[in-house]
Homo-oligomer: A and B are copies of this chain.
């Protein structure tokens, strides 16, 4: 008999596979807070408050103590203490849990994963508040990107892996004709076998959105998963792990298929754990140096890493200058540039750009963009809902030290949050730099730091953007032009450099946004990431196929 969770979610999974193949807009998880009930936001807030100053309950093996020291970027400590477990105990428990999970087969695993996601969805508001006070995101982003959009990305991984696994039959009859003799007949069985225990090393800015794809890609293919949150953003993933464990238990499986591994910034454990022979899969989001270390060192594992880079925009001309400025300034303000998709470098020729209102000079563009940002942030109450807070003091320090990197077009200013006066709120820093100053603008500077870089021509802008993307990596590349030749050149460049291209965004879509089931996030083709969320390569090597064959009498 089919597992009830597969029965429940079978249609959803089929729809998700269809969505992956058509890549139009599709999402099963509502992105409007209203859809979650009248008091949902308030209830989510209460649930979050209940976690504070308390012990987070998680019935995991190998507890050696308790820890956790998250501090809200809005200026208060969370005081949540999590069980600290021995990595070896979690690995051993994960290994012990895998055989039954493997034997359950792709359908049951996909059904249970879809149920976990449905329960994540029901907890979206609670997770949203946990995301706000660990990442610094403002409410709407924390809710949408941390809730339904992250769930989209999780379901996308489930559907993609399910499709791959289902392309292998459970069994087959092989019958080879032998001329006049009776045919050779064999029965063959095929089993999807997991690679081993997986480790998800999550980031501090988008713990769920960047964490769920690896978690679900590994889990649905039969692997046990250890989730290692960034020490400053544990709670959103702790809630997720607790829900996953409860769901697995109710589904009749060992909850140790998903476990939480907590450490602190002072005593990090990821390097030790990542090198353990039984860790066979690692999903990582974070800084390039650690990502490179993982790729170089954790050779016993397959490493999927998203390391970010230097995202570029080429500005040549536009048929909607006001829309361009609105779109760009919002893009730069959104979560204070703390997205791996935020553009850092805007290339503009020294003669400026053509607009329907006539040419706009280079310096005029800089002033216009600064003014447009200014309009966004002049009302602090509205601004904080877009900017959010600066996640880490390291990012704040980087921002404070960045003014010397170029000529300041618009300085970064501190804003006071109406509710939390201690919150780290800063407006974006906009700098101007000559193209020759690549040491300034061509290094990744994570946070609200952007450069308008002066080139001679658009052709130079595109060439320099290509070099930047190839050498430093990029997740996004954006171009503004009314000239078809320029757009074609940009498209060719994006194919050569292996980066997603956005063209003439002047409306309600922003280059930092990536839509589940439609946009591939990163490509794997440039140094920003060695894998894409979420393509076939992201799931196919997480499992093996083992077969047996015997004659049919």
Contacts and interface: CB of A to CB of B under 8 A. Distances in A.
A174 interface: yes
A173 interface: yes
A500 interface: yes
A438 B540 CA distance: 35
B508 A178 contact: yes
A173 B501 contact: no
A174 B24 contact: yes
Contacts of A532: 544-545
A191 interface: yes
Contacts of A163: 167
Interface string A504-523: 11111100000100111001
B188 A518 contact: yes
B167 A21 contact: yes
A25 B176 contact: yes
Interface stretch (A264-272, A355-363, A366-374, A490-498): A490-498
A544 B515 contact: no
A169 interface: yes
Contacts of A364: none
Given A169-B22, A532-B545, A536-B167, A551 B174 contact: no
Contact of A546 (B21, B494, B508, B547): B494
A550 interface: yes
B520 A547 contact: yes
A172 interface: yes
B545 A169 contact: no
A55 interface: no
B549 A519 contact: yes
A20 B167 contact: yes
Contact of A188 (B23, B172, B193, B546): B23
A506 to B, nearest CB: 8
Contacts of A169: 21-23
A191 B495 contact: yes
Contacts of A25: 174-177
A338 to B, nearest CB: 23
A499 B549 CA distance: 12
B545 A520 contact: yes
A502 interface: yes
A486 to B, nearest CB: 13
Interface string A534-553: 01110011001111111100
Identical subunits present: 2
A530 to B, nearest CB: 10
A20 B173 CA distance: 13
Interface string A378-398: 000000000000000000000
A548 B494 contact: yes
Contacts of A547: 500-501, 519-520
Contacts of A36: none
A408 interface: no
Most buried by B among A177, A191, A519: A519
A518 B171 CA distance: 10
Contact of A541 (B494, B507, B540): B540
A499 B500 CA distance: 39
B167 A501 contact: no
A507 to B, nearest CB: 6
Nearest to A179: B32
A524 interface: yes
A172 B299 CA distance: 38
Contacts of A535: 168, 540, 544-545
A523 B551 contact: no
A449 to B, nearest CB: 26
A95 to B, nearest CB: 11
Most buried by B among A102, A500, A505: A500
A92 interface: no
A173 B551 CA distance: 50
B499 A172 contact: no
14 contacts: A22-B172, A24-B175, A167-B536, A174-B515, A190-B520, A193-B523, A195-B525, A491-B548, A494-B548, A501-B548, A502-B549, A524-B544, A532-B545, A535-B544
- Top 8 closest A-B pairs, CB basis? A503-B550, A23-B172, A536-B540, A501-B548, A525-B544, A537-B541, A537-B540, A540-B540
Given A167-B536, A168-B535, A296-B299, 6 more contacts: A21-B167, A23-B169, A184-B509, A193-B523, A509-B551, A525-B544
